[in-house]
Structure 1
Amino acid sequence: MLIHPLITKTEDLESLCARLAQSEFVAVDTEFMRENTYWPELCLVQIANTEEAAAIDPLAPGIDLTPLYELLTNNEEVLKVFHAGGQDVEIIFNATGRTPHPIFDTQIAMMAISQSEQIGYSNLVEAWLGLTIDKGARFTDWSRRPLTERQIEYAIGDVTHLSKIFPKILKRLIKTDRGAWLNQEMEKLADPENYRNDPTLAWRRIKAAGRNPAVLGRLKAIAEWRELEAQGKNIPRGRIARDETIADIASHPPKAQADLAKVRGLSQGWRDNDIGKRLMATIAKSAPLPDDEMPPRNHRGAPLGKEGALVADLLKLLLKIRAREIDVAARLLTRSDELEQLAAGVRRDLPILEGWRFEIFGKDALELVEGRLAFAVENGRLKMTRVSADSDVFADTPAELDDSAAVGSDDGAETTA
């Protein structure tokens, strides 16, 4: 594979992107810094196909990244391959207002062909290529110039390895006929709404006890205020105030600015500084949260109860068994909250009861809840049994599961190719 020198000029980037536009896919990765800023600072972009690879310096004087962004967001003929690409996609969205499409994420794909739910990149490379990655340059300051040869070599390795791994994963998906399982997940990753930063919705990310409209209204107002303050200063939102601090203020609003000095997490300066004044003004203007914005009650209004909790536990055991049986990540099939909703009696708008998920797991989950499927132990082996429609006799299902499927599980276990 041809490895280009660090690209620092627009004309070199244009030539590279013109060639890559003829590829079936490109592997993409980014290096960025966000510890001290609100917006992540893009410091390096790596890109490769099966023939060539390059690192692009977004901080080079005068460089225009438009050719790169056009390739990633406007060229529908080239598949963009990432690994755990959520933050990479976020950066591209922040820069362009668009997301890469079509898109493929190898971390998500591994969920369909193994029980790995969040396999790390180094483990992915070791599993598929038998290589050990030198992690020494991983946590360096990518914003400092000049970049060292070691940094560039490490960074380009991320996409050269990925360009070799992707075809192998694709071949496995085709062989197992599970490619269609991932379509919805990949579209979610590419959905611009996942990356649109709406300060008015920031409060939803904060844990708040209770459903008091006045408290939630204050929380919404304060969270929005914090986002705008952080954006204006381009500093992490936690530098303004931590989540638990603003949740505390929303629950126990200070009567005067001087009382801010008594709030845990705020300094004495808040008693008379300008930011404290703006916070107090925000609290004063806040209004109770309207009914149509109130968060849904637990389990969509369906109480789980003690018996329901036991049923949910059985569903989780069934999920563990099925995931091991077909070698797929349990998280791809469903999540715990969805199983709890099923146990609580919810039957509508659950992904587990639709499409391939219903055929692979949801059908059995529904039968378990409705008493047509049960667990049995025979000679120390755990197996599923179906309840006969004509009697109380259990009929064995064709497939028996050994006891390792039920105990000692490691949901994060990785696989080798």
Structure 2
Amino acid sequence: MKIHPLITTSDALAELCERLAKANFVTVDTEFMRENTYFPELCLVQIADENEAAAIDPMAPGIDLTPLLDLLVDNEDVLKVFHAGGQDVEIIYNLTGKTPHPIFDTQIAMMAISQSEQIGYSNLVESWLGFSIDKGARFTDWARRPLTERQIEYAIGDVTHLSKIFPKMLRRLIKTGRGEWLDIEMEKLADPENYRSDPDTVWQKIRAPSRNPAVLGRLKALAAWREAEAMDKNIPRGRIMRDETLADIASHPPREQAELAKVRGLSSGWKDNDIGRRLMHCLADAKPLTEAEMPPRTPRGAPLGKEGALVADLLKLLLKIRSREIDIAARLLARSDDLELLAAGQRKNLPILEGWRFEQFGRDALELVEGKLAFAVVKGKLKMAHIDKIAGDREDPAIVVDDADAGAPVAVAEDTPEETTAQD
């Protein structure tokens, strides 16, 4: 593979992108700094196909990134391959208002062909290519110039290794027939809504201090105000005010600015400075939430009760068994919230009851909560078995305790024949 010197001119970048636009895929990575800014500061972009690789310096004087950004967001013929690419996609969205498409994430893909939940890049390289990478430059200051040869070599390695891994991974996905399982996951990664900052909805990510409409109205107003302040100053929102302080002020609003000096988490200067005055104006203008704006009374789903919680635990056990049997990450098959909703009686709008997830897991999960399946120990391994099969295959039926209230079998059958397992 040809490795280019660091690209610092618009002409060299345009020529590179013209060649890469003819590739079937490109692997992409970025280096950035965001410890002291609201928006991540892009410091380096690495890109490769199967034949060449380069690092691009977006901080080089006068460089025009348009050809690169056009390749990433407008060229639908080239697949863009990332590893754990959420933050990389966010940076591209901030620059263009669009996300890379079509897109492929090798960390997500690994969940479909192994039980790895969030495999790191170094482990990915070791698993697929059989060697360890040098992590020495990982925590470097990418904004400092000039970049060293070691930094550039380390950075380019991220995309050259990935360009070798991706074709191998793609062949595995095709062989196992699991490529289509990932389509929805990749579209979620590319959804611009994931990266759009809306000050009016930021409050929903903060732990609500109460369900009082007036308190929540102040929380919403304060969160939006803080977001605007952080964006305007380009500093992390926590530098303005921590979530805990914001929630405390929403619950116990000061009557006058001087009282801000007593608020834990704020400096005494807030009692008479401009930002303190803006905060007080924000509180004065805050309106209670309307009934339509109020959050649901429960986080997501319905209260389970003691018996329902036991059923949810059984579903989680089933999930562990099935993920092990078919060698897939449990989190890709089902989320805990969805299992609790199923245990609570919900049957609509659950991903586990649709498409491939239903075929691989949802059907058995549904039969478990309906009392048609039980757990069984087969040659020392925990598996699933149909209750009627257990009874029909043995003179001395396996012991199955049916919890009528929970609606799911909760006991174990010993030495059940393998043909009665759920996989069959």
Identity %: 75
Gaps of at least 5 residues in structure 1 are 402-417
**CA distance in structure 2 between the aligned counterparts of 1:397 and 1:216, rounded to whole angstroms:** 55
- Counterparts in 2 of 1:259 and 1:127: CA distance versus 1, 3 Å: same
**CA distance in structure 1 between the aligned counterparts of 2:19 and 2:390, rounded to whole angstroms:** 67
**Corresponding residue for 2:106?**
106
Deviations 1:76-99 (CA, angstroms, capped at 9, x unpaired): 000000000000000000000010
- Counterparts in 2 of 1:251 and 1:117: CA distance versus 1, 3 Å: same
**Counterpart mapping for 1:29-108 below 5 A:** 29-108=29-108
Q: Does residue 302 of the first structure (1) align with residue 302 of the second (2)?
A: yes
Contact 1:30 1:45 in 2 (8 A): yes
Q: Does residue 288 of the first structure (1) align with residue 309 of the second (2)?
A: no
What SS does structure 2 have at the residue aligned with 1:80? strand
Q: TM-score, normalised by structure 1?
A: 0.93
**CA distance in structure 1 between the aligned counterparts of 2:418 and 2:341, rounded to whole angstroms:** 26
- Counterparts in 2 of 1:378 and 1:8: CA distance versus 1, 3 Å: closer
**Corresponding residue for 2:216?**
216
Segment of structure 1 superposing worse, 339-348 or 181-190:
339-348
Larger radius of gyration: 2
**CA distance in structure 1 between the aligned counterparts of 2:351 and 2:369, rounded to whole angstroms:** 16
**CA distance in structure 2 between the aligned counterparts of 1:374 and 1:69, rounded to whole angstroms:** 54
Shift of 1:388: 2.1
**Corresponding residue for 1:184?**
184
Larger RCO: Structure 1 or Structure 2 (Cα < 8 Å, ≥ 6 residues apart)? 1
**Corresponding residue for 1:398?**
419
Segment of structure 1 superposing worse, 373-382 or 136-145:
373-382
Aligned length: 402
**Counterpart mapping for 1:12-411 below 5 A:** 12-298=12-298, 300=300, 302-377=302-377, 380-388=380-388, 398=419, 400=421
Shift of 1:373: 0.8
**CA distance in structure 1 between the aligned counterparts of 2:149 and 2:381, rounded to whole angstroms:** 56
- Counterparts in 2 of 1:63 and 1:390: CA distance versus 1, 3 Å: closer
Contact 1:299 1:341 in 2 (8 A): no
Shift of 1:296: 2.3
**Corresponding residue for 1:411?**
none
Deviations 1:14-56 (CA, angstroms, capped at 9, x unpaired): 0000000000000000000000001100000000000000000
**CA distance in structure 2 between the aligned counterparts of 1:190 and 1:321, rounded to whole angstroms:** 31
Gaps of at least 5 residues in structure 2 are 399-415
The code of the aligned residue for 2:220 comes to K
What SS does structure 2 have at the residue aligned with 1:98? coil
Contact 2:53 2:160 in 1 (8 A): yes
What SS does structure 2 have at the residue aligned with 1:135? coil
The code of the aligned residue for 1:213 comes to P
- Counterparts in 2 of 1:379 and 1:325: CA distance versus 1, 3 Å: closer
Q: CA RMSD for the aligned pairs? A: 1.8
Contact 1:122 1:132 in 2 (8 A): yes
**CA distance in structure 1 between the aligned counterparts of 2:246 and 2:256, rounded to whole angstroms:** 16
